[in-house]
Amino acid sequence: MSILAVGSLAFDTIKTPFGLVEKELGGSCTYFALSASYFTEVRVIGVVGEDFTAEHENVLKRRGVRLEGVERAPGKTFHWGGEYGENVNEAITKFTDLNVFQSFQPKIPKEFLDSKFLFLGNIQPTLQVDVRKQLGRDVVVAGDTMNYWINNTPGELAEALKIMDILLINDAEAKALGKATNLPRAALNVLAHGPRVLVIKHGEYGATVFFRDGAFGIGAQHPFRAPTLPIEEVKDPTGAGDSFAGGFFGYLASQGAVTRETLKRAMFYGGVMGSFAVEDFGTRRLQNICREEIDARFQLFRDLTHLD
Amino acid sequence: MSILAVGSLAFDTIKTPFGLVEKELGGSCTYFALSASYFTEVRVIGVVGEDFTAEHENVLKRRGVRLEGVERAPGKTFHWGGEYGENVNEAITKFTDLNVFQSFQPKIPKEFLDSKFLFLGNIQPTLQVDVRKQLGRDVVVAGDTMNYWINNTPGELAEALKIMDILLINDAEAKALGKATNLPRAALNVLAHGPRVLVIKHGEYGATVFFRDGAFGIGAQHPFRAPTLPIEEVKDPTGAGDSFAGGFFGYLASQGAVTRETLKRAMFYGGVMGSFAVEDFGTRRLQNICREEIDARFQLFRDLTHLD
């Protein structure tokens, strides 16, 4: 089934120990869409400025991503600048020029109203709720958020969490949102108030999915963890989390059903796509992966923790 | 096969958010020996003071641990004091009274000279080398070290690494020893100068084993990662790493052979024993585990990352 995804389309200026790129195509929704496009059709809701060219659009169109929901507004496209030092796990933000993204009001075109899988990228929680309301019932909703919303708009975020089936966040966000330094405890606290399924991303250590008791008609459930292969050369970690989300939700949508079994494989595909993303600057690697490479890496990740 | 283990027998005074214990039986060798005792016979080389009672000895003897190599010296037993805050991954050392451990000169009793599996606990690298020399050839040697030796006695440590087949250290130690912030790169650097096999412990995220190319007659080898189950209540993390080492090396010795396959299972047993250790203060939980509990947790850890 197709995925409807809302989030940022942007330009990134990124410096890492491996080099510098300026105004490179980026944004959470771009990474998500490219990554998910290897599994299913992705329909994007977003906004770009006048400096977003046909060439930028073509990067997404070549992967079959549908852009009818992308509004072109007067002004410039969202532009983020960041730098990574020796510790590639931490980005230092140099500037955040929201530009046309500042007044973004997501609207779902009629032809996308039949979408059954919705991904709410990291945008204002009130906008996330607003997008959800534009679709009917029986939609599987996955979403992202960040510390900014956790700290500054907790009330709005609480409302957004209620409409999500699956929340994907990282360790630090989970601890802040769940108000606990112990991760499983934080996970339980988050699950008590919002999503039925919580995916916590551990960066180079992989990711763990926690379940609310009774999720998917099953009783108490143990968490499930998918590893990532230790990577020697992380050229640019930007978008790794969004690419994880794309592989994860893309696989789920391609299966058309959310069960413990599809979620387990989705966790592995998330790790696989995240590991491709960091191999080159921006979305470059995500633009040209072949199916055989995805399958081979899936097998590698599986072997990484599998006993015979 | 039996394991010969050298390291500290100590008393620990520990404060965690769950309580305080004073002069509790501890020491790296104690944790290691109790943990490994569930898999094979352990013979200990160490030193204790006059305050180490028969009751303390019995904790080890009840698990079949052999103490003929433990010297009783005039004075007090090594006593460590530490505290854990909300972040249980970091101990704050309050005091380190080495006492009789300061002048420890390990001597292997004759009846232990046939040992084929040697564990060199975290002691002075020169003592590690000295112990190794007392045994003949064809011994599998695993060892531990810490940042203190990495920073202060790098030359002596380099000699000790050359006599180890397997080194077990944590993330921070691996990065310091391998002089790289990227973990797989640090691992390669460590493997180039010392052990054939490097186990890096990631605390709550499990552990990864890296292989030098050609180790065990096999060519280039991918790493292998064993997870740990996220634990909601870590009562006292003291000794988790030593307990990991005990489960890991105890299982290897019980199999009598170090191969990629036995190492993979050993990684899981390491995680299993580490997870038991933190459930109660000191070595309390390690004193009373039944085989069924170990098997059940092994299965739980396996299921944690296994696809069908």
How much is the pLDDT for A283? 97
pTM of the complete model: 0.90
Nearest chain B alpha carbon to A225: B305
CA atoms within 13 Å, Cβ hemisphere of B231: 26
Q: Please give the Cα distance from A2 to A17 (Å, whole number).
A: 37
Candidates A170, A164, A130; CA nearest to A146 is A170
Q: Please give the Cα distance from B104 to B98 (Å, whole number).
A: 10
Residues with Cβ within 8 Å of B185's Cβ and at least 6 positions away in sequence, in order, are A232, B178
Name the token pair of A161: 């969490």
Cβ pair B250, B42 in contact under 8 A: yes
**pLDDT tens track of chain A, all 308 residues?**
999 999 999 999 999 989 999 999 999 999 999 999 999 999 999 999 999 999 999 999 999 999 999 999 999 999 999 999 877 777 899 999 999 999 999 999 999 999 999 999 999 999 999 999 999 989 999 999 999 999 999 999 999 999 999 999 999 999 999 999 889 999 999 999 889 999 999 988 999 999 987 666 665 678 999 988 777 788 999 999 999 999 999 999 999 999 989 999 999 999 999 999 999 999 999 999 999 999 999 999 999 889 87
Look-up of token digits 């606290």 = A189
Asked if B227 lies within 8 A of A231 by C-beta distance, the reply is no
Candidates B5, B22, B27; CA nearest to B283 is B27
Whether the CB of A222 is below 8 Å from some CB of chain B: the reply is yes
Residues with Cβ within 8 Å of B254's Cβ and at least 6 positions away in sequence, in order, are B1, B39, B40
Q: Please give the Cα distance from A75 to A52 (Å, whole number).
A: 10
Q: What is the dihedral of CA B203, B140, B181, B244, to 10 degrees?
A: 0
Express each pLDDT in B152-169 by its tens digit.
999 999 999 999 999 999
Q: Pick from A84, A87, A205, A222 the residue to mutate for testing the B interface (most B CBs within 10 Å).
A: A205
How many C-beta atoms lie closer than 10 Å to residue B68's C-beta?
A: 12
Strand partners, B142: B119, B166
Asked if A225 lies within 8 A of B227 by C-beta distance, the reply is yes
Cβ pair B146, B241 in contact under 8 A: no
What CA–CA distances, in Å, run from A31 to A11, A18, A45, B139, B193? Answer: 12, 20, 14, 51, 40
Asked if B223 lies within 8 A of A265 by C-beta distance, the reply is no
Candidates A181, A153, A164, A62; CA nearest to A118 is A164
What CA–CA distances, in Å, run from A216 to A86, A142, A259, B29? Answer: 42, 15, 6, 46
Asked if A223 lies within 8 A of B229 by C-beta distance, the reply is yes
Express each pLDDT in B218-241 by its tens digit.
656 789 999 887 777 889 999 999
